[in-house]
Amino acid sequence: MSVNTKKIDGANCEITATIEAKDLDANIEKIARKLSKDAKVDGFRKGKVPMAVIKKQYGDRITEDAESEALRDIVDQGLKTLKLEQNQLIGEPQVTKFDRKDGKIEVAITISNRPQFDLGDYKKLVPAVKKPKVTKKAITERLKELASAQAAFVDVEDRAVVEGDTAVIDFDGYIDGEAFPGGKAEAFNLTVGSGQFIPGFEEQIIGMNPGEDKDVTVSFPEDYQAKDLAGKEAVFKVKLHKLQEKEKVRIDKKLAEKMLPGVEGADVEMLNEKVEEQMLSEELSKLYNDDLKPKLTDALIKNYKFDIPSFIIEQEMDNKLNQKASGMSEDEINGLKDDADKVQAMREEFRDEATTSVKATFIIDALALAEEVSVSEDEVSQTIYYEAMQSGQDPQATLDHYKKSGYLPAVQMAMVEDRVLSKLLNASVEEEA
């Protein structure tokens, strides 16, 4: 069996070979002999089945196994010639040619190996980060918000509704004198000015007094989700049962102790420091995500030159094509079904984007190793679970969906990328002079 190799580039190689009939016959004999020791065939004792019977009964299976073994031998010989180890390969070898002709089999196999490149002084690519400033006024406003969130609601009886109050109301809606589904509620807590209701409703609640009735006339927006109500005028009969406001909360040691549970000696100064720290973190996170991380990723991609495994780019192109198809209409999909050239052209549009994406993945992978950054599978599951819970979704069902769909590795890689870039940028934060 003659085996030849060709290095296409730094990440892709091709192995070609001719499987001779004698090579295949040798494999068939070896497999049949091994099978005869354990095969159970009626009329024969175990281990005593003639080779001719074995070949007749298991012929197709033996031939397939013999061809598979020949392919493995070709790959092994090719790797030795290329001086590559199995652990350097990415993905499975791809058989691109398997032609039977004149008792021989012409074979071509492509293999991909992990790209090799030197990170060098990658930290010089990280931009200097000016530490954001948080004003005392902003900290005070945040403290007021935190204090307000802790405040309890108290009933108010000696004044009318103002913006920010919680009005406990009954309402019953009518269009052209007819009640409509979903237009009625009792003892509903409406925070006036929150924008919960359609435009114009909350504004007309302002000025009402507890015990008062009022007709509120509004029009549903033209783009309202319920198409049968969109653009129509409605009259709501509203009764204000009671009015509530948040009691004033002082920013004092008592609030600090409540906001900093378990912190010994918690006081307003410590609370200020904690709030400032949180606000700085928020500002940095916004700066990173909106500006610096994209710029740093772009700089890394432009700085490193290396070859990429072709099949991964092809896979990424397929993923992006599928994503685009998922957002197409049925008519658009049908228009592509019988036009392979158009589909291929559309797929090719993603080649540059896919190449950049795959290249970034290898760079981040190398940086994560250099910076000793990792994300465990448990951390990925916890993140998905928490975010689902925060958005009101079923956490376990969401996690199960991610697992079943095979999305966990992508989430894990995204988390690694976020941590690597954040770590590099955090090391470049310049303190104020």
pLDDT confidence of residue 38: 67
Binned at pLDDT 50, 70 and 90, residue 432 comes out as low
Residue 323: which of 417, 416, 383, 410 has the closest Cα?
410
Quote the mean pLDDT of the chain.
89
pLDDT confidence of residue 139: 92
Between 255 and 44, residue with greater pLDDT: 255
The SS3 assignment for 169 reads strand
Alpha carbon separation from 273 to 270, 278, 281 (Å, rounded):
5, 9, 12
Domain 268-430 falls in which CATH fold? Trigger factor, domain 2 (1.10.3120)
Q: What is the mean pLDDT of residues 403-418?
A: 89
Please name the residues in contact with 202: beta carbons below 8 A apart, sequence gap of 6 or more: 190, 192, 193, 194, 195, 196
Alpha-carbon distance of 338 to 398, in angstroms, equals: 36
Alpha-carbon distance of 376 to 383, in angstroms, equals: 11
* Lookup: tokens for 127: 């931009």
Please name the residues in contact with 426: beta carbons below 8 A apart, sequence gap of 6 or more: 129, 284
Give yes or no for residue 377 having a pLDDT over 80: yes
Binned at pLDDT 50, 70 and 90, residue 275 comes out as very high
In the chain, where the domains are located: 2-112, 152-246, 268-430
Q: What is the mean pLDDT of residues 27-38?
A: 79
Give yes or no for residue 61 having a pLDDT over 90: no
pLDDT confidence of residue 37: 73
Query: What percent of the chain shows pLDDT beyond 70?
Result: 97
Q: What angle do CA 363, 366, 372 make, to 5 degrees?
A: 135
Helices (H), 37-184: 51-57, 59-82, 136-150
Q: What is the mean pLDDT of residues 405-414?
A: 88
Binned at pLDDT 50, 70 and 90, residue 47 comes out as low
Of the chain, the end-to-end C-alpha distance in Å amounts to 72
Between 18 and 2, residue with greater pLDDT: 18
Alpha-carbon torsion 215, 217, 223, 228, what sign?
Answer: positive
What are the pLDDT digits (tens) for 293-325? 999 999 999 999 999 999 999 999 998 998 888
Between 337 and 19, residue with greater pLDDT: 19
| CATH classification number, 152-246, choose in 3.10.50.40, 3.65.10.10, 3.40.50.2000, 3.90.600.10 | 3.10.50.40
pLDDT confidence of residue 43: 66
What are the pLDDT digits (tens) for 213-248? 999 999 999 988 888 899 999 999 999 999 998 887
Domain 2-112 falls in which CATH fold? Alpha-Beta Plaits (3.30.70)
Q: What is the mean pLDDT of residues 69-90?
A: 92
Binned at pLDDT 50, 70 and 90, residue 48 comes out as low
pLDDT confidence of residue 226: 87
State phi, psi for 224 to the nearest 5 degrees: -60, 140
Give yes or no for residue 352 having a pLDDT over 60: yes
What are the pLDDT digits (tens) for 117-155? 999 999 999 999 998 889 999 999 998 888 887 778 888
Binned at pLDDT 50, 70 and 90, residue 433 comes out as very low
pLDDT confidence of residue 317: 92
